[in-house]
Structure 1
């Protein structure tokens, strides 16, 4: 096996076309390998599906015109794909691929792929020999419509060998831009994700990321927007890790700060899942018909699926009574929904010897103990 070949020249050498082409190919090779192995392929900038409302002059029906915005993508071979101006998607191209389908609300995938083309005669010089041979190749692109389900082809693509240069046509690498919806012969809308597959954006492969300024910031958009989250790692005189939201001036208002000594400061409340083997308790007083509360951190779903077991202790409360009244608790239970059933009987023979024993709703002190089984990995 041999490594990449770097062209070398010497005085008096006659340069053939192959020598000059090898110089260009050598420069493309490292760039492609860098993009392929140090980055994740996908959309780098722009290339969104943009809609403009339109009206069909024949039927008066409303629809949308869909175009691809200018942008740059890098495919899985390391080749850069550049779209320099907006491209309107042609409905005739879509109809040619999917026109025979029955009407559906399911969105159809739209792909971008690299393509080499002969440049316009006015844009590319010809050979000095006087022949019509072109001396330039236009690194262009092609926009393709897929059939329903073709978005799965994106994940099935295999990258080239380690030392391979960027792939040239007819090798084709599909970059998913999004999806279009089709209604009554026109585009009716666009979406970025369908059937669990979304447009893919470029990423970075790195075990170490360093910052020359002394502060490293992670955010969810290319630009800082007020109210959007950011994670800032600072290494100055007071090193810390801050999670917060951008303010209007571009600074980050801390919501959570971890200091160099390990101290944690949070602006809001702190809550977490229940740990395996833990016990949580809540107590209080409830009257007949009330739903007993769960300890903080325990959810009804955890109780329903057996991850948390409840133990309830009830003590009927004695109501305020006259000195001659008799009191007897009849029932103090909790049903499967944690609803209290509490009934008591009262009788005061001195106040009214002929009166019957009265049964009425009562109240009870409760203690709810929630235990988390030690074998389920916690809540």
Structure 2
């Protein structure tokens, strides 16, 4: 198997159409392999589904007009798909694919795929032979509606071989843009995700990311927005790692900071998995029938599978009594579900001198959650 062929020229060579086409294809193939292997395919910029409210002039039904915003995507073959201006989705195209479906609240997927077309106007002069063959190809696109569940097709697509150029039509690669709702013969809304599948955005494959300014920032949006999270790694004289939230001026208010010496500073509380040999405690007051809480950071699953052992201590509380009344606990227990069983007996001769009264009581509780230490003590 040969590698990519790079065109080479010499003085006096007669250049055929194939020679010039090979020059274009060599550069195009290199760009596609770069996009395919150094990046994750998906939406690069724009291409969101945008709605505008409308009213059907015949029926008075309110609906929305859906358009695809201008933008760029790179498909899984490395081909760039450019939508130069907004495109209004045609309801007739949707009905052609899904018009026979029963009415449903489920959204339908919308895909973008590459398409080659001949330009509307010839570019450049006609050849000396008088041939009317066009000398340009418009790298265009096609917007397709899928059936319910077709969003899975995007994830099942397989990339071409390592050295292949970008795929040209009729080979089709689907880029999911989002979903549309359909009701009463019109579009009624849009979604970015449905049935666990969301519109896919382009990413990068890298083992090393370096910053020239001495600070590297990761954030969840293309623009800084107040209240959104950010992760900032800084070098220089005071290197540290900061996780925080953006403030109004674009600065990051630290919530957690790791200094160069390993010191960790956090603004909130700390919780997480219990380490071997550790103990967590919670306490309070509970009445008969209440479930005792677990210490913060302990889950019922950890208790159920034996990773954490629970110890409970109960102390019956003396209820408010008259001076002549007597009190004695009858039961103060907790069952396997951590439900308190507390009964007390109160004898008040001024109310009923014949016999005491049994009633629900309250307890002070102490719940300890422990993890056994290993043989090494850690």
> Is TM-score (shorter-chain normalized) higher than 0.5?
yes
Question: For residue 190 of structure 2, what is the aligned residue in structure 1?
Answer: 190
Give CA deviations for 1:264-306 in whole Å, capped at 9, x if unaligned. 1111121223346643333455555665443232345655676
Aligned CA RMSD, in angstroms, stands at: 2.7
Change (3 A) 1:276 1:193: farther
Give CA deviations for 1:229-281 in whole Å, capped at 9, x if unaligned. 11111011100001111112111111111101111111112122334664333
Question: For residue 359 of structure 1, what is the aligned residue in structure 2?
Answer: 357
Q: Is the 8 A contact 1:292 1:340 kept in 2?
A: no
Q: CA deviation at 1:315?
A: 3.5
Change (3 A) 1:185 1:359: same
Question: For residue 368 of structure 2, what is the aligned residue in structure 1?
Answer: 369
Change (3 A) 1:285 1:140: closer
**Structure 2 residue 72 is the aligned partner of structure 1 residue 84:** no
Q: Is the 8 A contact 2:342 2:363 kept in 1?
A: no
Q: CA deviation at 1:307?
A: 5.5
Question: For residue 100 of structure 2, what is the aligned residue in structure 1?
Answer: 100
| More moved, 283-292 vs 81-90 | 283-292
TM-score (norm 2): 0.89
**After superposition, where does 1:107-146 map in structure 2 within 5 Å?**
107-121=107-121, 124-129=123-128, 130-146=130-146
**Structure 2 residue 51 is the aligned partner of structure 1 residue 69:** no
Question: For residue 222 of structure 2, what is the aligned residue in structure 1?
Answer: 222
Question: For residue 54 of structure 1, what is the aligned residue in structure 2?
Answer: 54
Q: Secondary structure of 2:36's match?
A: helix
Q: CA deviation at 1:203?
A: 0.5
Give CA deviations for 1:79-118 in whole Å, capped at 9, x if unaligned. 0000000111111111111111111111111110111100
Q: Is the 8 A contact 2:322 2:348 kept in 1?
A: no
Question: For residue 232 of structure 1, what is the aligned residue in structure 2?
Answer: 232
Q: Distance in 2 between matches of 1:85 and 1:284?
A: 64
Change (3 A) 1:133 1:306: same
Q: Is the 8 A contact 1:317 1:364 kept in 2?
A: yes
Change (3 A) 1:344 1:301: farther
Q: Distance in 1 between matches of 2:80 and 2:321?
A: 87
Change (3 A) 1:322 1:170: closer
Q: Distance in 2 between matches of 1:285 and 1:356?
A: 32
Q: Distance in 2 between matches of 1:321 and 1:159?
A: 80
TM-score (norm 1): 0.89
Gaps in structure 2 of 5+ consecutive residues: none
Q: Is the 8 A contact 1:330 1:345 kept in 2?
A: no
Change (3 A) 1:295 1:120: same
Q: Distance in 1 between matches of 2:167 and 2:225?
A: 38
Q: CA deviation at 1:355?
A: 2.8
**Structure 2 residue 343 is the aligned partner of structure 1 residue 342:** yes
Give CA deviations for 1:28-51 in whole Å, capped at 9, x if unaligned. 111000000000000000001111
Gaps in structure 1 of 5+ consecutive residues: none
Change (3 A) 1:287 1:184: closer
Q: CA deviation at 1:212?
A: 1.0
Q: Distance in 2 between matches of 1:97 and 1:88?
A: 17
Question: For residue 210 of structure 1, what is the aligned residue in structure 2?
Answer: 210
Q: Is the 8 A contact 2:330 2:342 kept in 1?
A: no
**After superposition, where does 1:188-337 map in structure 2 within 5 Å?**
188-275=188-275, 278-284=278-284, 286=286, 292-300=292-300, 302-303=302-303, 308-316=308-316, 328-335=328-335, 336-337=337-338
| More moved, 151-160 vs 300-309 | 300-309
Q: Distance in 2 between matches of 1:64 and 1:128?
A: 49
| Equivalenced residues, count | 370
